[in-house]
């Protein structure tokens, strides 16, 4: 068993001795209501039981994240250089052209989050998916952790473990964006500053995590940068070739708009963003070349023969040990091979935020057959279902009338490992009671602690 699991059990036992620490849970909701960790105007759904890592556990997840980051870099480089390799992703010609737009800086994927299911009994893990565009959850992780740190349970836990600490996820994310801008070939040229750029978080207004953007903007401003949100529809190139929105010129874009959503919702502003990246009118952090590793087809590529020519033997072994077998569906696929629905999960090729993801465990036989047929018609994927790991969950916030404060029912965990500028930077942890963990399936956001013992 990982040391962190023992510490999590200790945290829960402290909470039990406090009768479930009901007052602290309610106070946590009051704290979150005054932060940027919000969902539809109220506090996010959260768990008071945190994910806890020992120093050795951090080493385990750091190795998982950074090894996958190296693999993602190699795959991206070959995608850019080899047309035959690009074909294995089964992207549309329009998407493929977009992914080939130059970035003007060397780092292939400055911001990423790789999601895993970690078995805390054995230390084994399976990747769930890879995220590049708009890898969110940073502010929620930080603020839920702070809410937990205000509880009576945490006060006793930290008394026993005075070395407890947290990750600075938001600060390291800002560091990575500014480092990428500093390495951009256009920094300090044509009237643009070499440091302290005007930064815009670019997304579709209806899709943006506005509370997180507001929080990150404040950090940029504390670093001397102008920072704001810009709806992608408001972007344009001015007469001098600078990228602008309704407020003014933009030096650096932190692109949060998902690449596939840009093709689903074409607009002149999206065209301006693409042209700005292509012409060097602005530094686009999260360039379009990050998309191949964020597609649901990436795991199928990693399992394919072409990956063996791209990766080292050790990396191929890593993939086979930690990446679930994945296959791209086509109208010619024999879907009967996947009829044992509980063994599989199906995903749309260009999906995001768990939209359209169907676990066989959650589907009827007829519903599963229909899902497979629909995805086969549109190039979706089917993937071996990775067993999730459950831990006792102390639900945060005010308890419903009649709820048992000592009912810590197990919930499935998912850890999102952040990679900023190629380095492991922290964890976005969430849990849930369904076979898929997402905003649409009632997930709970968790805090994250490290005990260096």
CB atoms inside a 10 Å sphere around CB 390? 15
CB atoms inside a 10 Å sphere around CB 50? 27
Structure tokens at 202: 């670019």
pLDDT at residue 36 in the model: 84
pLDDT tens column, 1-59: 799 999 999 999 999 999 999 999 999 999 999 988 877 677 889 999 999 999 999 99
Cα distance between residue 356 and residue 10, in whole Å? 37
pLDDT at residue 427 in the model: 95
pLDDT at residue 354 in the model: 53
pLDDT tens column, 254-309: 999 988 899 999 999 999 999 999 999 999 998 999 999 998 889 999 999 999 99
Taking residues 238-250, what's their average pLDDT?
93
Domain residue ranges of the chain, discontinuous segments joined by +: 3-295+387-451, 325-385
pLDDT tens column, 189-233: 988 999 999 999 999 999 898 889 999 999 999 999 999 999 999
Is 325-385 in CATH node 3.20.20.150? no
Q: Are 217 and 262 in contact (CB under 8 A)?
A: no
- The position carrying tokens 């999260």 is 286
Cα distance between residue 302 and residue 85, in whole Å? 11
Structure tokens at 90: 């089964």
**Dihedral, 335, 340, 343, 347 alpha carbons, nearest 10:** 30
Taking residues 155-184, what's their average pLDDT?
96
Q: What pTM value is reported for the model? A: 0.92
Query: Which tops the pLDDT comparison, 101 or 453?
Result: 101
Question: Is the pLDDT assigned to residue 87 strictly greater than 70?
Answer: yes
pLDDT at residue 41 in the model: 73
pLDDT tens column, 341-397: 999 999 887 655 556 788 888 889 889 998 998 988 888 899 999 888 999 999 999
Q: Are 390 and 374 in contact (CB under 8 A)?
A: no
**Phi first, then psi: what are they for 275, rounded to 5°?**
-65, -35
What is the pLDDT of the chain when averaged over all its residues?
A: 92
Taking residues 238-251, what's their average pLDDT?
93
The alpha carbon of residue 313 and the mean position of all alpha carbons in its chain are separated, in whole angstroms, by 27
pLDDT at residue 44 in the model: 85
């Amino acid at each position: 068993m990982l040391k962190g699991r023992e510490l999590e059990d200790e945290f829960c036992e402290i909470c039990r001795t406090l009768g479930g620490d009901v007052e602290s849970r309610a106070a946590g909701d009051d704290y979150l209501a005054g932060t940027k960790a919000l969902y539809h105007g109220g506090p996010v759904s959260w768990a008071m039981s945190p994910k806890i890592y020992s120093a050795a556990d951090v080493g385990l997840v750091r190795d998982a994240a950074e090894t996958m980051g190296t693999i993602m870099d190699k795959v991206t480089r070959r995608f850019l250089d080899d047309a035959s390799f690009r074909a294995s992703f089964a992207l549309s010609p329009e998407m493929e052209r977009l992914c080939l737009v130059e970035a003007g800086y060397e780092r292939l994927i400055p911001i990423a989050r790789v999601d895993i299911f970690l078995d805390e009994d054995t230390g084994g893990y399976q990747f769930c998916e890879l995220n590049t565009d708009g890898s969110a959850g940073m502010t929620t992780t930080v603020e839920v952790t702070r809410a937990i740190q205000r509880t009576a349970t945490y006060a006793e836990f930290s008394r026993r473990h005075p070395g407890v600490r947290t990750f600075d996820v938001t600060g390291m994310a800002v560091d990575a964006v500014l480092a990428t801008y500093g390495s951009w070939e256009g920094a300090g040229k044509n009237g643009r500053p070499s440091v302290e750029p005007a930064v815009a978080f670019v997304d579709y207004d209806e899709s943006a995590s506005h509370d997180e953007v507001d929080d990150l903007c404040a950090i940029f401003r504390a670093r001397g940068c102008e920072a704001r949100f810009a709806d992608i529809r408001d972007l344009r190139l001015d007469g001098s070739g600078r990228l602008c929105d309704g407020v003014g010129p933009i030096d650096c874009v932190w692109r949060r708009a998902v690449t596939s959503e840009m093709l689903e919702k074409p607009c002149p502003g999206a065209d301006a963003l693409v042209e700005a990246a292509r012409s060097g009118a602005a530094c686009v952090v999260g360039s379009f070349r990050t998309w191949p590793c964020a597609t649901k087809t990436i795991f199928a590529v990693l399992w394919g023969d072409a990956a063996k020519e791209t990766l080292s033997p050790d990396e191929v072994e890593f993939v086979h040990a930690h990446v679930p077998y994945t296959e791209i569906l086509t109208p010619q696929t024999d879907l009967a091979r996947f009829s044992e629905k509980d063994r599989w999960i199906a995903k749309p090729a260009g999906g995001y935020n768990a939209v359209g993801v169907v676990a066989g465990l959650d589907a009827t036989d007829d519903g599963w057959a229909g899902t497979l047929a629909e995805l086969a018609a549109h190039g979706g994927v089917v993937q071996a279902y990775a067993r999730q790991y459950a831990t006792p969950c102390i639900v945060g916030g005010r308890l419903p009338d009649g709820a048992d404060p000592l009912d810590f029912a197990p919930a499935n965990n998912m850890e999102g490992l952040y990679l900023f500028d190629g380095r492991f930077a922290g964890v976005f942890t969430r849990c849930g009671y369904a076979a898929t963990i997402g905003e649409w399936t009632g997930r709970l956001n968790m805090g994250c602690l490290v005990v260096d013992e």
